[in-house]
Amino acid sequence: MALRPILTLPDKRLRLRAEPVARVDDEIRALMDDLLETMYDAPGIGLAATQVGVPKRVLVLDVAKREDENASPNPMVFANPEILSTSEETSLHEEGCLSIPEFFEEVERPARIRLSYLDRSGKREELEADGILARCLQHEIDHLNGVLFIDHISRLKRERVLKKFNKEMRERERGAGKNEAERA
Ligand code: GNR
Ligand code: NI
């Protein structure tokens, strides 16, 4: 098991569309374990492989603590998740993202989804989700498609966030002593 650095805006790898896994082998299971360890360390309630720079359709979740302070951990892993159907009914809930630190905004999404995926042993499973589980799954599947939650908010708010993260990166580069030519 290993912690992996989480990419943040404006890293372009967050915009890649991830490739399906051919099968769930030991390498994919090791990736799932690293994602869980990195997610718990952050801490967060979900993490997609895209966020650690691995463009594979793998994500992990643990929404147990979010629902009940005293709940025991409930790690969930998904490969090649596919949304089969979504409810007409939507819900509005505040979201955050480990790749967009310290920014939170309400996002409207379908309230319930049906999902197919491969589990840790590579077996195809189906799941019906609602509440925070449905929300988090949609947020993570978006990551696998290069989509961020700010893509679902108003253009004005999105551009404000993108601008802030671009500026912060430029300031970091300055601090790191990049040469004039690179800066121009
Ligand atoms: O930790 C996280 N919290 C969260 C809250 C509301 C909706 C989605 C999330 S996922 C986020 C971790 C993350 O960035 N996963 O990609
Ligand atoms: Ni996220």
Domain residue extents for the chain: 12-153, 154-184
SS (HEC) of 2-37? CCCCCCCCCCHHHHCCCECCCCCCHHHHHHHHHHHH
Taking the centre of ligand 1 as the mean of its atom positions, its distance from the CA of residue 179, in whole angstroms, is: 36
Amino acid at 178: K
Q: What is the pLDDT of residue 183?
A: 56
For residue 98, give the ligand 1 atom closest to its CA: 14
Number of the ligand 1 atom closest to the C-alpha atom of 136? 8
For residue 124, give both structure tokens. Answer: 């195809």
What does the pLDDT read at residue 182? 59
Domain 12-153, what fold? Peptide Deformylase (3.90.45)
End-to-end CA distance of the chain: 41
Tell me the CA–centroid distance for residue 177 and ligand 1, in Å: 33
| Radius of gyration of the chain, Cα coordinates, nearest whole angstrom | 17
Q: Along the 184 residues of the chain, how does pLDDT read in single tens digits?
A: 899 999 999 999 999 999 999 999 999 999 999 999 999 999 999 999 999 999 999 999 999 977 777 889 999 999 999 999 999 999 999 999 999 999 999 999 999 999 999 999 999 999 999 999 999 999 999 999 999 999 999 999 999 999 999 999 999 999 987 665 555 5
CB-facing half-sphere around the CA of 14: CA atoms within 13 A: 20
- Which pLDDT score is estimated for 177? 74
Placement of tokens 């025991």 in the chain: 72
Active site residues: 140
Put simply, whether the predicted model's pTM sits higher than 0.85 gets the answer: yes
